Chains A and B, each alone.
Chain A
Amino acid sequence: MERRGLEYVVLNQGNAQLTELYRSQIGDWPKFFKMDTLSKAGFVATELLLKKLGERRCGSEEFIQSRAIVLFGSTASLCADRNYQETIQNKDDYYPSPALFVYTLPNIVTGEIAIRNHWRGESSFYVLVAPDAAQMAFHLACAFQDSVTESILAGWVDSRNNDDFQVFMTLIRKEDAADTDWLAGQLQLIINDLNK
């Protein structure tokens, strides 16, 4: 039987697109405006994906523990790092910003998504040299070794500077990851789309 391909969302059109999508499609999460670019992009892509999948936000305790978030990127929090560095670079203008510092950890985006959706499963951020479908598929399949994880919000979130990012989000169910080669093939299709 032919297996259905993974549903996914790709965003790579800059910050104006994110704000526009937030206002037109989401609108009820003002914390969005406090996020750094990486978190904004990851957050909006996740919201759009869940809409596409028609998934209801609330779920049973069992469900919220079984949903993991596993994200990959190459620049990690570099963009936030640069923004924070500016607040400490000069002696005469040395005012380290806690609101910028907190985003200098790339896994904050996983936390933002977990908070929004009340997901209490595993959350992880891995840094790779570049988006590599086989490498990502392997580590995603490994994540299903956890005894309660049934599905994973998986994605590539990368932000070179405040207005240049590449993000995809997809949802992987346990049965999807059993065939790692199939999963890698699916991720490759998404990566091709990301680079368009």
Chain B
Amino acid sequence: MEELILKLKQEIIEVLNLEDIKPEDIDNDAPLFGEGLGLDSIDALELIVLMEKNYGIKLQDPAKGKEIFKSINVMADYIQKNRTR
């Protein structure tokens, strides 16, 4: 799980171009959206692409992303349970 969390943080930093943020700056339990990382609706859509591309998880309903992208821990947990690659 630790390994997945680190990998996921690196992937998020890369696809969302979080230029000045390092993996250790992202709190595992802090909300990904709202304050903090300053992510917006396009970032949420890009995370949906990341889930499909890197883990083979297809999310048709963007509203579901809201629950999954609650925090890194929630996201990693969801990926571990549902990944197909």
**What residues of chain A have their CB less than 8 Å away from a CB belonging to chain B?**
30-31, 33-34, 95-99, 102
Contact status A34-B49, CB under 8 Å: no
A31 to B37, CA, bound (A): 11
Return the contact of A33 from the options B19, B45, B46 (Cβ within 8 A).
Answer: B19
What residues of B have a CB within 8 angstroms of the CB of A30 in the complex?
A: 18-20, 38
Show the binding face of B for A, using Cβ within 8 Å: 15-20, 38, 42-43, 45-46, 49, 52-53
Flag if B46 contacts A99 (CB, 8 Å): yes
Q: Please measure, in the bound complex, the distance between the C-alpha atom of A143 and the C-alpha atom of B42, giving whole angstroms.
A: 32
Asked if residues B49 and A96 are in contact (CB atoms below 8 Å), the reply is yes
Interface of A, secondary structure class, is helix
Shortest distance from the beta carbon of A99 to any chain B beta carbon, whole Å = 5
Which one of A31, A33, A95, A99 contacts B52 once the chains associate, using CB atoms below 8 Å?
A95
Please, could you name 22 A-B residue pairs with CB atoms under 8 Å apart, sorted by A?
A30-B18, A30-B19, A30-B20, A33-B17, A33-B18, A33-B19, A34-B16, A34-B17, A95-B49, A95-B52, A96-B49, A97-B46, A97-B49, A98-B42, A98-B45, A98-B46, A98-B49, A99-B16, A99-B42, A99-B43, A99-B46, A102-B42
